Amino acid sequence: MEAKTKTQAELRQEAEHYLPGGVGGAGRINSALGYAFYIKEAKGCRLWDTDGKEYIDFNLGHGSAFLGYQHPATQAAAEKALAAGILAGYETENHVQLAKRVTEIIPCAERVRYGNTGSEGTMICVRLARAYTKKDKILKFWGHFHGLYDYMMYNAHTPMTPVEPGSIIEPCQESAGMPAVNDDLVVVVPWKDEAALEQALAQHGDEIGGIIMEPINYNQGCIVADKEYMELVRRQATAHNIALIYDEVLSAFRTGPDCAQGYYGVTPDLCVLGKAVANGGAMVVLAGKKEVMELVGPLGEVAQSGTFTGNPLAVATALASIEELCKPGFYDHIYAASERMVSGLSELFAGAGIPARVQGLGGRFGIFFGSTKPVERFDDTLDRDVEMRSRFVRAAADKGVYFHDYGSLVAGHHGVSASHTMADIDEALNRVESAIKGGLS
């Protein structure tokens, strides 16, 4: 790849003089390629790098470009908002209309607030849960990722060895610089393990103020619960006076306009809608029940605000984005395109004798190298073949298909957009077939 990306190499060398590791964020490094991906243009489902090479993209801005790049509706909304001026710190009519629309389609949304990032969104939800229940501890699940702040950066990827079923897992910090005193505020259990949840609540239920989860664990590929388990968590949260938080930063709108909570038919107390909500715009939506949400200022004493919170550019694109994905037939295409990609990849791997499991739901899917067995729990991802995955990502990129590799600790996630036509999917599969036949080196 190095010999074919001359401008990319030059940019990386220059960037390393000014940016730690040569990037503005660590997640932009594609571990399989060994460098960050510098692009010149993105349109529809395609990228062009700084050397002019074209790629069919299945990363989609880490999941944010659900409609596709330069989608006409969101592009027009952004341009209109930009023409009105950079009105950061002020409210617009769109702020009201977006909140109204969210309350119409999201089951738990009786009141709405805006934020900038997924980390910020889940942080405020944790703060609200503690204020509402007047209890400090938060229960989270092994393998679920909720952002890059001290309170929740635990056990999203660790430990990388199996744990005893029914057990509470020792909190493991996933960044240097986190105070050890925070460990006492986190309770970690395996997801989809009823005995572990019940044991944790029996021991700490009177101290736990919030339960937070990815309702669809897309950050580790695509791991899905059954409705019965989700209903159990809901009942237990209610019984123990615990606020239930759905982190839908990645799952929002992948399965339908009502998100994962609509897919399961289970309503949390709070949720964070991110990434796809503004089709690449920098914002998240915090939503929840009235009695919890109205604890934020100015009505309550929970601090939540910011100069760029609900910036008008992103609010305008979010309003346009939601209108697009609520159109009849939108999800028929998403499901059909995703199914063709998932089944096509599965057939290619099977035909080449490559042990890999491809599974998805709605607009996102995961590829697990090393086994063909269904991935039901985080434990099932621990024996993944990281080396094989890296070889696949490199070979696919060489043929013009872009998958992002987040490194050895993360299974990773991929997806389709509204801009992926069936012809795009078939072309991508043909390119992947060529990559496989050429050898995964």
Task: Report pLDDT for 110.
Answer: 98
Give the DSSP H/E element, type plus range, for residue 102.
Answer: helix 93-105
- DSSP reduced 3-state for 393: helix
pLDDT recorded at residue 3: 52
* CA dist., res. 87 & res. 261, Å (int): 33
The 10s digit of each residue's pLDDT in 45-85 is: 999 999 899 999 999 999 999 999 999 999 999 999 999 98
Smallest CA-to-CA distance from 208 within 195, 227, 230, 189 is with 189
What pLDDT is stored for residue 235 in this prediction?
Answer: 98
- Cross-strand pairs, 285: 114, 273
Long-range contact list for 22-26, CB < 8 A, 24+ apart?
Answer: none
Span 14-30, pLDDT tens digits: 999 999 988 888 888 89
Q: What whole-number distance in Å separates Cα of residue 110 and Cα of residue 292?
A: 10
Domain residue extents for the chain: 2-70+329-437, 72-325
Does the pTM of the predicted model rise above 0.85?
yes
Which fold would CATH assign to domain 72-325? Aspartate Aminotransferase; domain 2 (3.40.640)
Question: What local confidence, expressed as pLDDT, does residue 37 receive?
Answer: 85
Q: Find the helix packing angle between 312-325 and 330-352, rounded to 10°.
A: 80
Helix, strand, coil percentages (3-state) for the chain, rounded to 5, are 40, 20, 40
Enumerate helices (H) and strands (E) in the chain, giving the number of each.
13, 18
Q: Are strands 364-369 and 356-361 parallel, antiparallel or unpaired?
A: antiparallel
Say how far apart CA 84 and CA 57 lie, in whole Å: 32
Structural fold of domain 2-70+329-437: Aspartate Aminotransferase, domain 1 (3.90.1150)
Count CB atoms within 10 A of the CB of residue 228.
10
Query: Can you give the pLDDT at residue 407?
Result: 84
User: Which residues lie below 8 Å from residue 140, measured CB to CB, with a gap of 6+?
Assistant: 146, 152, 154, 155, 186, 187, 188, 211, 212, 213
* Residue 319: CA count within 13 A, CB half-sphere: 21
The token pair at 132 is: 């509402």
Q: Which has the closest alpha carbon to 214: 110, 141, 112?
A: 141
Residue 250 in contact with residue 59, Cβ under 8 Å?
no
Residues of the chain with pLDDT under 50: none
